[in-house]
Chains A and B, each alone.
Chain A
Amino acid sequence: MNLAELQKKLIAVARTEVLDDRVPYAFEKRVSALLASRVAPQNLDLWVRGLWRSAISCVAVAMLCGAWTFFTPATSASSDDLSQNLETTLLSSVDQNDQAP
């Protein structure tokens, strides 16, 4: 059998086929509805993405602060002790009351 001839013949047959360009009823409406339904989740996605980004930046800042406090050498001078200073300030009114006759 002449395969090249058969190939030619079948391709010629395929060329004669009339293209079927029918579109299902209201196809464009369906596409529009699908696109509209995708817009809402997209907005939600934006929010979720934004929240995740901010959460990641918060964690990063917290880690940096932690690392900074961990690696900064502690000063021995009591006047520079922030916690001590805070405590003195907060309790100063109580101390004054105690000292009063």
Chain B
Amino acid sequence: MERTEAELIAAVLKGDAASFEPLVQKYSPRVFATARRYARRDSEVEDIAQEVWLKAFDKLKSFRGEAPFEHWLMRMTVRTCYDFLRGHQRNRESSFSELSEPENDWLERFVTAPEAASDNADAAKLLIGRVMEKLSPSARLVITLLEIEDRSVKEIARLTGWSVPLVKVRAFRARAEMRKILAKMTKDKYL
């Protein structure tokens, strides 16, 4: 008979580390999907996921069971991703001169006819990826959670551990920062 999540957690807390494996198996897809939003290389994504699970194991005592385990785990995942972003800021200073040809084409198409530039073009995906990499860690986190994942401010506050006013301030700054990066990108290209 398959054990419930609560039973597995209770067993882990009693010292049965093997009971942790079904939890890892069940929730790893979500952890990996989240980690892939913030890290590009497979090795980095795997490192994040591994760290999330090690932290989850170490801090399992702090899980009170009031909210679903998945929520608790996602909070830990988001915070680990944020730590990862803060630790990997060195790539943010590169210029936009190295835009690929498809990216340049998409930008040109946008300049001439904004509505004609398609939403799901691969070039546009590369471009937004590049812009996201240039954002500061907090700005990237807020833009991802608020704009891309469409989460509420309250939800972001819960996930990040920031206060609601802080999320709002950071969201405002993040949008401004993104516009600044876009301005620089288009200036590099068109001026």
Q: Do A and B come from one complex?
A: yes
* Shortest beta-carbon distance from B70 to chain A in Å: 13
Chain B residue contacts of A9, Cβ below 8 A: 110, 114, 117, 119, 124
Interface positions of B (Cβ within 8 A of A): 17-18, 20-21, 24-25, 28-30, 32-33, 36-37, 42, 46, 49-50, 53-54, 57, 110-111, 114, 117, 119-121, 124-125, 127-128, 131-132, 143, 147-148, 150, 175, 178-179, 182-183, 186, 190
Interface of B is mostly: helix
Chain B residue contacts of A68, Cβ below 8 A: none
Q: Does A12 contact B (CB under 8 A)?
A: yes
Q: Check A7–B182 contact: CB distance below 8 A.
A: yes
Q: Check A27–B111 contact: CB distance below 8 A.
A: no
Find residues 29-66 in chain A having any chain B CB closer than 8 Å to their own CB.
29-32, 34-36, 38-39
Q: Check A28–B25 contact: CB distance below 8 A.
A: yes
Q: Check B128–A14 contact: CB distance below 8 A.
A: yes
Chain A residue contacts of B110, Cβ below 8 A: 1, 6, 9
Chain A: how many interface residues by the 8 Å CB criterion? 33
Q: Does A10 contact B (CB under 8 A)?
A: yes
Q: Check A23–B54 contact: CB distance below 8 A.
A: no
- Given A27-B49, A36-B17: A11 in contact with B186 (beta carbons within 8 A): no
Chain A residue contacts of B21, Cβ below 8 A: 28-29, 31-32
